[in-house]
Amino acid sequence: MIRHANMLALVLSLLMLGTYVFALQTQDRIITGKVTAADDGQPLPGVAITVKGTRVGTATDQSGQYKLVVPASRNVLVFSFIGFKTQEVKIGTRTNINVAMQPDNRALEEVVVTGYGTRKGKASRLATVTEMQMSAPAAVKYTSPVIKHDRETVGDTSFNTEEYDAVHENPFLVAVRNPLSTFSIDVDNASYSNVRRFLSMGQKPPKDAVRIEEMVNYFSYDYPQPEGKEPFSITTELAACPWNEENQLLHIGLQGRHIPLENLPASNLVFLIDVSGSMDEPAKLPLVKAGFKLLVEQLRPQDKVAMVVYAGAAGLVLAPTPGNNKAKIMQAIDNLHAGGSTAGGEGIKLAYKIAQQQFIKGGNNRVILATDGDFNVGVSSNAEMERLIEEKRESGVFLTVLGFGMGNYKDSKMETLADKGNGNYAYIDNLLEAKKVFVNEFGGTLFTIAKDVKLQLEFNPAKVHAYRLIGYENRALRNEDFNNDKKDAGELGSGHTVTALYEIVPVGARSAAAIPAVVDALKYQQAPATTTAANSNEVLTLKLRYKEPDGDKSSLLQRTVPQGLEPAGRTSDNFRFSAAVASFGMLLRESEFKGSASYASVLQLAEGARGKDREGYRVEFINMVKSMGLLSSGQ
């Protein structure tokens, strides 16, 4: 009898255990945990965690923590991170799973660092959040195999449909025929982080993804704060060109006035979030949500936030809410889920409508759009979007465009939106880039101190044979546009810096012979340098126009740049580092103007110009150059 009783108890125990396991397998589970590096125990932010066989996923936060709802029918998590071995972990009955990831010895010796430090000989700690590896030949619109996960199967092959507008590099212009150079400032920096995303996957970026001015302006520079009433200071430096010793390099720097957070005007913000099906990937909507939460932490009681989402249709999911009601705003963000087609135009219209209804006179009125740019319903073409945004910007509402994801990323569309919407454009490839945009550069990203900022340089043909503006191809203006206050131009935010570079061919330089005469000699007039110009010590005159954020009439600033080069050993860190980034961009673009530039010379320039580098961005660039040098040597 005792033996039978024991057997019965064992059977009942097994039945109860089976029932418990069955219950676990028939309901969704919440799995939490922490991901660290196996070699030193450091937390790993930005690790992509997906449920195997689905597109359900998330990414670790800054402390390596994660939380994921796992469907009942699935029992395996996949942990992937650039520079580390991908791991598959069975869930079983656990609800807390900590993972120590092993470095991948096959990774590049120096991998791009996208955070605040480096580890020589080891993979990047803070790399791009992605599971997808793709080939990216240089093209404006290109297709290549890419692994794409659907909800039930893994390994289906689709095509990459990322789009970039063609960039035709500025040529050298002869000063006697083209004395004026006019362009709008550009504070966008999306190109740099997008290029970083390609390099972190061991791929060279498409040429047209490389916009040199955006790479240069990703970094802050040590320019003086403005004095007097002007909203920014102007700094110039002239020295020998690092990649062509016969030529000169002119460095122009603008420094926006830094306004303390407590003194910034109240904000009226509308978060416009793409929740279409294309956003249902770890590097998209989960990263959007994490980034906006960082922004919410910066808000003050006088600020207010509304939230509009769009997929097949657009809708208001959070009515205007004070910035100190953070719990309500956070809950609205947590409730976001992706699915459906993409009616981007309708979302934009609704977001601007809400912003206009809540308009704060003298405040910061702004729509913040987060998307992969893959609009496919309603107003969706670049031309239609451009006209829509040009119409909406007249309301006094500014626009910030934040790009996410890969594979179907529409860079050309998003750049158009930002350029035409009195706004700025950033590409966010990981949580630390979100922190850079929303926390480190909070004022510059969201608070405009000057709009329609235009520069016009007049070169003295007695001193300058030819010149070339490096980058800013899509910001070029007609000379007549400089004095036209109706012509839209770029915006400058609190504390932001803007940098521009010109390569100059001096009169009498041997390199002048290489500049072709693109037009025949004039028949009815001549354009010789005046006697005054010949006797002047001025190389050029720089003029700048800007408007107050709510103004309609521009103000004019003017500076001259005298002859005389800064000795090579005395150039500033600003000069050398910006030159390093520009020459790196030319190498990536395989530019005809790269001269003697090489990855080794870029590295030498950059390593000697780290400056203060409080956030480690310049160190990150140096490691990126090293990575590209390794990639190139293996080709």
Domain ranges within the chain, ordered by starting residue: 173-259+449-601, 261-446
**Span 539-566, average pLDDT:** 94
- Element holding 289 (H helix, E strand): helix 285-296
pLDDT of residue 531: 65
Provide the Cα torsion 476, 478, 479, 483; round to 10°: -100
Q: Which of 358-367, 404-413, 515-524 is most confident?
A: 358-367
Helix (H) or strand (E) holding 499: strand 497-506
Predicted confidence band of residue 132 (pLDDT cuts 50, 70, 90): very low
Beta bridge partners of 321: 305
* pLDDT at residue 8 tops 70: no
Q: Long-range contacts: 362-365, Cβ < 8 Å, 24+?
A: 362/265, 362/550, 363/265, 363/266, 363/267, 363/268, 364/264, 364/265, 364/266, 364/267, 364/268, 364/269, 364/398, 364/446, 364/447, 364/448, 365/267, 365/268, 365/396, 365/397, 365/398
Task: Please state the rounded mean pLDDT for residues 576-591.
Answer: 97
Confidence of residue 1 (pLDDT cuts 50, 70, 90): low
Residue 157's DSSP bridge partners are 147
Give the mean pLDDT of the chain: 82
Report residue 537 as tokens: 């010590």
Interval 352-358 mean pLDDT: 93
Q: What is the mean pLDDT of residues 383-410?
A: 82
pLDDT at 342 (0 to 100):
64
Question: Would you state the pLDDT for residue 604?
Answer: 95
State yes or no: pLDDT of 635 exceeds 60: no
Rg (CA), the chain: 27
- Report the first-to-last Cα separation within the chain, whole angstroms: 79
Alpha carbon distance 502, 248 (integer Å): 8
In the structure encoding, which two tokens stand for residue 597, read together?
A: 């530039």
In order, the DSSP letters of 511-541 are: GGGGS---SPPPSS---PPPHHHHH--EEEE
Which CATH fold would you assign to the domain 173-259+449-601? Answer: Immunoglobulin-like (2.60.40)
Q: What region, left, alpha or beta, does residue 471 occupy, with left being phi > 0 and alpha being psi -120 to 50 degrees?
A: left
pLDDT at residue 118, rounded to an integer: 35
The answer to which of 161-165, 194-198, 466-470 has the lowest mean pLDDT is 161-165
pLDDT at 505: 96
Residue with tokens 């689905």, as numbered in its chain: 54
Q: What is the pLDDT of residue 602?
A: 96
pLDDT-derived band at 606, boundaries 50, 70, 90: very high
Phi and psi, residue 385, nearest 5°: -65, -40
pLDDT at 79 over 70: yes
Report percent pLDDT > 90 for the chain: 47
Model confidence over 279-326: pLDDT tens digits?
888 889 999 999 999 999 989 999 999 999 988 777 899 999 999 999
- How many residues are present in the chain? 635
Does residue 380 register a pLDDT over 60?
no
pLDDT of residue 15: 56
What backbone phi and psi angles, to 5 degrees, belong to 250? -100, 125
* Lowest-pLDDT choice from 17-21, 106-110, 179-183, 604-608: 106-110
- Token pair 């090579």: residue: 568
Q: Is the pLDDT score of 618 beyond 70?
A: yes
Range 136-160 average pLDDT: 34
User: pLDDT > 70: what percent of the chain?
Assistant: 82
Q: Is the pLDDT of residue 140 over 50?
A: no
Q: Which of 345, 328, 282, 314 is CA-nearest to residue 131? A: 282
DSSP state letters, 377-389: SSS-SHHHHHHHH
Is residue 383 predicted with pLDDT exceeding 90? no
> 505 pairs with which residues across the strands?
466
- Whether residue 406 has pLDDT greater than 90: no
pLDDT above 60 (res 485): yes
Query: What is the predicted pLDDT for the residue at 510?
Result: 86
Alpha-carbon span 407 to 133, nearest angstrom = 9
* More confident: 236 or 125: 236
* Residue among 281, 291, 337, 339 nearest 131 (CA): 281
Residue 368 makes CB contacts below 8 A (sequence gap 6+) with 269, 270, 271, 272, 295, 399, 400, 402, 446
Lowest model confidence (mean pLDDT) among 49-58, 126-135, 317-326: 126-135
The dihedral over CA atoms of 274, 275, 277, 279, expressed in degrees to the nearest 10, equals 60
CATH of 261-446, one of 3.40.50.2000, 3.40.50.410, 3.40.50.2300, 3.40.50.970: 3.40.50.410
Structure tokens of 400? 């910030």
Whole-angstrom distance, CA of residue 312 vs CA of residue 463: 59
Residue 274 is inside which H or E element, if any?
strand 267-274
pLDDT (average), residues 325-345: 85
The pLDDT value given to residue 368:
93
Mean pLDDT of the 8-34 span: 63
- State the SS3 of 109-131: CCCCCCCCCCCCCCCCCCCCCCC
The tens digit of pLDDT for each residue in 163-186 reads 898 999 999 999 998 999 999 998
